[in-house]
Structure 1
Amino acid sequence: MRISDKKRSAQLLRLRFASIVIGVALTIASIGLVLLKQQNADSTEKGAKEVNQSTAVRSTPTASASPTKSLESIDTSKLAYNITTSPQFTQSKQLEKIVNRVVDLAKEKNLPTQPLSITLIDIKTGKTAGYQQEKFRYPASVVKLFWMVYLYAQIEKEILSEADFTQYLDEMIKKSDNDSASYIVDKISHTEYQENIQGEESRNWKKKRLQVNQYFQQAGYDNINVSQKTFPISSPNLSQPEGSELILRENRENLIRNQISTQQVARLLYEIYKKQSVSSNSSKKMAKWLTIDAQKRNIKKDDENSDEFNPVRGFLSASLPNDVDFKGKAGLTSNSRNDAGIITTPDGKTYILVVFADDEAYASDWDLFPEISRLALNSMIKRE
């Protein structure tokens, strides 16, 4: 081979080697760019997720937040109570004697018996007795039992969220707070107080509120009225019905008030105890809200603090021994004293006792209801 040929071969080899090196460098650079873009994309996606998660945390409603659904968009007219007919109880002569002795207690204290209504049910046997138990009377805060049931009906259907109402249920049932009750009534009826309302808007508002009655009436709670709020209310500041609340009462001279019979209250308590009201799970929760344990009874039975509602002193649970379980709801106004309870003895005897006394003489008597409860307990324990 000539020298010139050798030189050309060497040059060709150097060119080929340089091409290979350049190709490898370009390939590495390309791979690096791809990896860098992927890393940037992953970083961007991660950042977006963190922003979304942070936003989700901030937007989660607290326990006291209002339900998220628009009041105007919800129709509860087709919401139905899961039990359509009243339980069939058997009249009992034995229980009738107990009820008659309760009426005699009132007579002995020179209290009028015309405003008195009583229902007594032995849950185990399904036997019952009563005194003027079908007569409609003003229930005072006992009406809050029915608002609790209607609330759980909407929680069960996911119309409302239970987490939004825990605080309000505690205050409405345990403390009988009217402001919390007012809030619950607004939400379950999907109405809000309006100072000035008339015409078609007024009719639609009234129709929504009366659906609370309709829910129970369609289930056999005939002629019941549980659509009126209890007063006074501090927000808005109302000592009596005004504005939209007044349209339910027709006029100040002929006020329509809540009306419930002791028989209807006893039925509702029976369905809660039997885990039939709304659902088994909801009934268990409602029964828990209604429980007034022995420790609470011992603290409250002698408490005369007039600044806060006392569900024990002057009511059915005040005279019960510590080993007796009590679930119930009381109501008191200057003109009435009412109480409704499920009582269970240590040996398993369980009965429902509901007493309404719609007269100021009963409102000011702090001894009669505990005496009634003690009489009923002793009589039920002696029964076979």
Structure 2
Amino acid sequence: MSFFDTDENLQRIGALLTAKAEAIFRERGVPAEQFGFVLLQPTRDSGRPKGAAFRPDWRSYPCSLVKVFFLVAAQAALEAGQLTEHEELDRAMRDMILWSSNSATNYVIDLLSGTTGDTLLSEPEMTEWGERRQMVNRFFAQLGWPELVGINLNQKLMDDLRYGREKIGLDCSPAGHNALTPIAMARLMHAIFHGSVLTEASREKVQNLLARDLASPFLPRGAYQVTGYLAGGMPAGTQIWSKAGRTRWLGDERADFRRHDALRAVLPDGAEFILTVFSQGEAIAEDDGFLPQLGSIAAKEILDL
């Protein structure tokens, strides 16, 4: 289940990442199996990347990483004429990535699926509602990527518990909450920059929305998702595209206490890598130093190759 070729240098770097993460988890009393990553180095001809991984198919609540999938689905729907471009949609797509806005994300989901989360529905209407909510799952299933097996993309993003249709829809969904794996996230990140999941013009829009700036005045703001995340460990002069996510207590142990990130970095010497990290545990979710330490290791070692 791999779209990349294993590489001795990247496996060595991956072993360093794993050792560092396991040491931090051990110090915090968090089970080491609540961690997984995929590290890639794309090739210059956009062929099969080189890579290394640890628990790449660990299925986890994805926090806000799922918003990249919704963004790609929205761009594909615009290409197909299933959505009409308008100012509010543009604003929502920007804000769900730039500021990780759940409200913006849920607006995009409503437009994609033709559903809302308002008053209760009759049982037949609720069945139809649930079927409409499968739109994004259907889009990614038709790509035929084996790395996407087991993911789920049919739930809105919430800051705490769900009510009404959203609660009933979650309870009735065989797949439960949204779910991703490190390998699924890595496959999509690679496709956005080196694949053909969208037209070139649409891929460029997605890339621009994912861009982060290490010199941005927004850097101290947690919502910008650099400080406390992989990008926070990058050396000055690195070009960054990323989307991170974190949950604290949500009142639902299936989604509580995650800290994930998906990063594409072009280092000052031009070397490129993609790193997706998934982690779970209250002590890790609250640790703003965890992901920057992993990012720093990856950047330093790849610079030294």
Same fold (TM over 0.5): yes
The 5-angstrom pairing of residues 283-298 of structure 1 reads 283-296=203-216
- TM-score, normalized by length of structure 1? 0.70
Aligned-pair CA distance for 1:216: 1.0
Match of 1:274 in 2: 194
Q: Please report the RMSD computed on the Cα atoms of aligned residues, expressed in angstroms.
A: 2.0
- The structure 2 residue matched to 1:168, chosen from 65, 72, 92, is 92
Query: Quick one: which amino acid aligns to residue 201 of structure 1?
Result: E
More helix by share: 1
Matched, 1:328 2:248: no
Match of 1:19 in 2: none
Deviations 1:200-236 (A, max 9, x none): 111111001012112112322222101111113xxxx
- The structure 2 residue matched to 1:149, chosen from 55, 72, 80, is 72
Aligned residues: 285
Q: Secondary structure at the residue paired with 1:266?
A: helix
Deviations 1:134-169 (A, max 9, x none): 111111001000000000011111221233311111
- The structure 2 residue matched to 1:127, chosen from 50, 53, 69, is 50
Q: Is the 8 A contact 1:320 1:374 kept in 2?
A: yes
Aligned-pair CA distance for 1:346: 2.8
Query: Quick one: which amino acid aligns to residue 170 of structure 2?
Result: R
The 5-angstrom pairing of residues 104-119 of structure 1 reads 104-109=19-24, 110-111=27-28, 112-119=31-38
- The structure 2 residue matched to 1:345, chosen from 260, 264, 267, is 267
Any stretches of 5+ residues in structure 2 without a counterpart?
Answer: 249-256
Deviations 1:29-74 (A, max 9, x none): xxxxxxxxxxxxxxxxxxxxxxxxxxxxxxxxxxxxxxxxxxxxxx
Match of 1:379 in 2: 301
The 5-angstrom pairing of residues 125-274 of structure 1 reads 126-164=49-87, 165-219=89-143, 220=145, 221-232=148-159, 239-250=160-171, 256-274=176-194
| Greater radius of gyration (CA) | 1
**Which stretches of structure 1, 4 residues or longer, exceed 4 Å deviation after superposition?**
none
Q: Is the 8 A contact 1:134 1:262 kept in 2?
A: yes
Q: Is the 8 A contact 2:211 2:241 kept in 1?
A: yes
**More deviation in 220-229 or 139-148?**
220-229
Match of 2:18 in 1: 103
Q: Secondary structure at the residue paired with 1:195?
A: coil
Q: Is the 8 A contact 1:206 1:247 kept in 2?
A: no
Match of 2:252 in 1: none
Q: Is the 8 A contact 1:275 1:281 kept in 2?
A: no
Q: Is the 8 A contact 2:3 2:187 kept in 1?
A: no
- TM-score, normalized by length of structure 2? 0.88
CA distance in 2, matches of 1:248, 1:331: 23
CA distance in 1, matches of 2:156, 2:12: 36
Matched, 1:318 2:238: no
Match of 1:236 in 2: none
